[in-house]
Amino acid sequence: MTHPDPFHYGDLRNYVGGRYVEPTSTDRLPVEDPASGATVGSIVDSGADDVDQAVQAAETAFRGEWAGVSPAGRARLLHALADAIEAEAEDFAMAEVRDNGKVIREMRTQLLAVPKWYRYYAGVADKLHGDTVPLEQPSIFAYTRREPVGVVGCITPWNSPLFLAAWKIAPALAAGCTVVVKPSEHASVSTLLFSRAFERAGFPDGVFNVVTGGGLTAGQALAAHPLVRRVSFTGSGGGGRAVAQTAAARYAPAGLELGGKSANIIFGDAPLDAAVNGLLAGIFAAAGQTCVAGSRALVHRSVYDEVLARLEKRVAEIKVGHPLDDATEMGPIANRPQLAKTEEYAAIAQAEGAALVSGGARASVEGGAEGFYFQPTVFADVRPQMRIAQEEVFGPILSVIPFEDDDEAVAIANGTDFGLAAGVWTQHLSRAHEVAARLEAGTVWVNMYRANAPGMPFGGYKSSGIGRENGVHAVEDYLETKAVWVETQPSASDPFSVKA
């Protein structure tokens, strides 16, 4: 496939109150194409004034036109937004590829899935009602109201910007909130372009706003803003801690979806063809840059050698190439800092004594000498306490760890600070349920890996986060409950009068 010369976005602006606006900040950050390494534009490194402009627009919309839209009206707009995304799915997919280097065939599938989240929460929007509460006093009528919290700050990552933003935006809008999105400074373009879908769907100005910039600038300013009533963050543990502390200082709740060191466990009775495919999909899809990446393969001793041999053969066949090539199976790392981190962990693994089976270095790609490519990498004989088995790499590096029995497998799987996801491969139904119950993970897949749906809750145990996204109950995070007491037979008696 012949690829064109690098495209160029120019100097991009924030999207506030229904239009692209000139920023207050004069600072800018480069937009780099991970496939070529070329600088292809710039984004605003927004400061507190730029963030305030976006939050004020969202607050105005929340108190104004958006407040007059009925729940059924919100549902209709969410369905219209899903239609608009479908109409521009190819353009959004292309922007994501250029943002983070994910392969085009995966991004086409992902962008066609995004509308499902908006349609799911469209179905929730007109079902958010309060309750009547019977009290002991017969003259008091008591009931509850469900009201939107207000402006929501959404801080999104670079690995799947629009997909993971939908997990926040869709329930927030269904609840009646307005949003200000701060995408990762490493992948902001697709979120800025996403404004077109809101315009096409007919949302009032200010319901959806985008401010770009770094976490220490725009991210912290958004978390600190007094009009932001809730913060929803997806990203690194360090970033999540900073956001949560900033929000907590003013008593604003923060939902955190953080990292993982997920175990993909292959028992001796596993269907090996499917299990090896699950290992490959779990770590080499998206070049390992997913929070649920199955970066630890725990393999029973009885099938350890066979699984390693199959992995070595299959990994050698993975086609690393330009992400716009339909034949490419694994594209580049998303950005320079992440490429450096991946190289560092490959070196750490070898220094700790892990056995390199495949990869371990930057990949050579035709026409992509300056791109951020890294070979799919497998380390064998990894000990559970090695850094490569404890720390999140967020790159295409698989650590293969042997185990002897079910108890040891569970102990190794649970033996990290993380608890986001896990995979279990076995043909024994009782083992599948027993192990799933014992794993400290927010999601457990059995004989499958890396699946999701809008109706299934997602989140982690331990250092993998706070709260759950997706599912009907996720909308609760964006609602306040108000208790209303009505005395139907008010008394005019003196409250301080005491009768004998």
**One-letter amino acid for residue 112 of the chain:** L
Active site residue 177: no
For residue 205, give the DSSP letter. T
In terms of Cα–Cα distance, which of 13, 17, 15 is closest to 58? 17
DSSP symbols for 84-102? HHHHTHHHHHHHHHHHH--
Active site residue 154: no
List Cα–Cα distances, 315 to 230, 318, 368, in angstroms.
43, 5, 20
DSSP symbols for 60-74? HHHHTGGGGS-HHHH
Catalytic pick from 154, 177, 291, 469?
A: 291
Residue carrying structure tokens 């997990």: 167
Distance CA 418, CA 459 (A): 11
Answer for the pair 442, 141: CB distance below 8 angstroms, yes or no.
no
Instruction: Measure the CA dihedral 85/91/95/98, to 10°.
Output: 150
Distance CA 149, CA 421 (A): 30
Q: Long-range contacts: 317-322, Cβ < 8 Å, 24+?
A: 318/280, 318/284, 318/376, 320/363, 320/365, 320/373, 320/375, 320/376, 321/365, 321/366, 321/368, 322/1, 322/3, 322/35, 322/365, 322/367, 322/368, 322/371
Cα radius of gyration rounded to whole Å, the chain: 25
470 Cβ contact partners less than 8 Å away, ≥ 6 residues apart:
117, 167, 452, 453, 454, 455, 456, 457, 458
Distance CA 308, CA 310 (A): 5
Answer for the pair 219, 155: CB distance below 8 angstroms, yes or no.
yes
Catalytic pick from 32, 257, 392, 469?
A: 257
Q: Long-range contacts: 376-381, Cβ < 8 Å, 24+?
A: 376/284, 376/315, 376/318, 376/320, 376/330, 377/346, 378/308, 378/311, 378/312, 378/315, 379/349, 379/354, 379/355, 380/308, 380/354, 380/355, 381/353, 381/354, 381/355
266 φ/ψ angles, rounded to the nearest 5 degrees: -110, 115
Which residues have a catalytic role annotated? 257, 291
